[in-house]
A and B are shown apart, each in its own frame.
Chain A
Amino acid sequence: MNTQDIETALIREVAVILGIGPETVDPTRPIQDMGVDSMSFVELLIFIEKTFQLKLIQSGLKKEDFHTLQALARRIAGELNDDA
Chain B
Amino acid sequence: MQIPYSKNKRYLTGIDWIINMFDRMLKKSSGAGNAAQVMLELDGALDEAAFRADMTSFTEAFPVLRGSVRRDINLAPYWKIPKKPPPARLLTTLDDFSESVSNAIVLAKLTDHVNDPFPDDTLHMAFHIARHGRARTWLSMVFDHRLFDARGAEGFLALFESWRATRSIEPIKQDIETSEPAHLSNWIRKFKAGQTVNRALRDVAPSSHRLRDFAAVRDRRTRFRFIRFTEAETRAIETLAHEQAGFLMLSPFLLALCLQTLHAALARKSLDIPAYVVPVSMDMRRPGAWRAKTFFNHVSFMFLAAQARDMADRPALIQSLIGQIYEQTKARVQECYVEASMLMRILPLGILSRLARQPFKGEFGALSFSHLGETLLSGDTFMDRPLLNVCHAPRVPIPPGLGFFFNIGNGQLNVTLTYLPELLDDSDLDFIEHALRASIA
Contact = CB atoms under 8 A, between A and B. Distances in A.
A pairs with B: yes
A43 to B, nearest CB: 6
B289 A67 contact: no
A80 interface: no
B248 A32 contact: yes
A67 B282 contact: no
B98 interface: no
Given A18-B286, A32-B248, A66-B247, A37 B326 contact: no
Nearest to A39: B282
A65 B242 CA distance: 12
Contacts, number: 56
A67 B247 contact: yes
Interface of B is mostly: mixed
Contacts of A66: 247-248
Given A38-B251, A60-B246, A63-B247, A45 B289 contact: no
Contacts of B86: none
A38 B249 contact: yes
B288 A35 contact: yes
A62 to B, nearest CB: 7
A4 to B, nearest CB: 23
Contacts of B323: 57
A36 B248 contact: yes
Contacts of A37: 248, 373
Contacts of B371: 38
Interface in B324-349: 325-326, 329-330
A55 B214 CA distance: 43
Contacts of B249: 38, 41, 61
B99 to A, nearest CB: 38
A38 B289 contact: no
B171 interface: no
A61 B15 CA distance: 33
Given A42-B325, A46-B326, A19 B282 contact: no
A61 B242 CA distance: 8
B250 interface: yes
Nearest to A40: B287
B193 to A, nearest CB: 18
A19 B286 contact: yes
19 contacts: A18-B286, A19-B287, A20-B287, A31-B248, A35-B287, A36-B248, A37-B373, A39-B282, A39-B325, A41-B248, A42-B325, A46-B326, A49-B330, A60-B246, A61-B248, A61-B249, A62-B246, A63-B247, A66-B247
Interface of A: 17-20, 31-32, 35-39, 41-43, 45-46, 49, 57, 60-63, 65-67
Given A19-B287, A19-B289, A38-B248, 14 more contacts: A19-B288, A20-B288, A31-B248, A32-B248, A35-B288, A38-B249, A39-B329, A41-B249, A42-B326, A46-B329, A49-B330, A57-B323, A61-B246, A66-B248
